[in-house]
Homo-oligomer: A and B are copies of this chain.
């Protein structure tokens, strides 16, 4: 039994946006949990805007355990259809999935082209695999709705870090708690939700969606 119930959390602001002052409502914790919110910077007009935690487009629902848009949902399905992929970035800037897929990664291409000097027209599958060890690239693309198709590697990594998982499937009509969360606005730049849980309410079950992206302790 805990006499004091504290759930600390912080929304880490990436970029120039602001966080709102009403985090409690945003993340949708039960009303009977006392919260200490430290944030003050989200624009009012974005408060009701639910965004995909992968690319920032308007979100459509909880797919594979994360609040994402339909394109990113489809992307995740494709990526994990035959098991977890091991996407590689070639010297030519081509991201290779082992079986078939390839797509250009503009970011990684820029950073890796000098090493190989190959041009896209001439690359062959064989060459890609030969140069396998020097092709790691930056692996740090910023994903947004416009460039999300530029780098499959980083987009997929973002799916993973957002908590998407075949294990996290939640089917059917959501519980009322989830409906609250479903209406929670998350600004496009607020991809990292840092939650510090000191102690929680006895007997309350905190479903995973409350921890929108990850749980980080300070």
Residues on A close to B: CB < 8 A?
1-2, 43, 65, 71, 146, 149, 161, 163, 165, 167-169, 171-172, 196-209, 211-218
Number of copies: 2
Q: Are B71 and A207 in contact (CB under 8 A)?
A: no
Q: Are A214 and B207 in contact (CB under 8 A)?
A: yes
Closest residue of chain B to A172 (Cβ to Cβ) is: B71
Max chain B Cβ within 10 angstroms of own Cβ: one of A2, A171, A202, A215? A215
The 5 closest A-B pairs by CB, nearest first: A200-B217, A163-B208, A206-B215, A205-B216, A205-B214
Closest residue of chain B to A218 (Cβ to Cβ) is: B202
Minimum Cβ distance to chain B for residue A212 (Å): 7
Q: Are B206 and A217 in contact (CB under 8 A)?
A: yes
In the bound assembly, the distance between CA atoms of A197 and B196 in angstroms comes to 10
**Chain B residues in 8 Å Cβ range of A217:** 2, 199-206
A-B contact pairs, 9 of them (CB 8 A): A149-B169, A149-B171, A161-B207, A167-B212, A200-B217, A202-B217, A204-B217, A206-B214, A208-B214
In the bound assembly, the distance between CA atoms of A136 and B122 in angstroms comes to 37
Closest residue of chain B to A208 (Cβ to Cβ) is: B163
Closest residue of chain B to A66 (Cβ to Cβ) is: B208
**Chain B residues in 8 Å Cβ range of A205:** 214-217
User: Given A202-B218, A206-B214, A215-B205, does the pair A167, B149 have CB atoms closer than 8 Å?
Assistant: no
Q: Are B207 and A163 in contact (CB under 8 A)?
A: yes
Q: Are A203 and B43 in contact (CB under 8 A)?
A: yes
Minimum Cβ distance to chain B for residue A199 (Å): 6
**Chain B residues in 8 Å Cβ range of A196:** 200
**Chain B residues in 8 Å Cβ range of A2:** 217
In the bound assembly, the distance between CA atoms of A198 and B207 in angstroms comes to 16
In the bound assembly, the distance between CA atoms of A217 and B202 in angstroms comes to 5
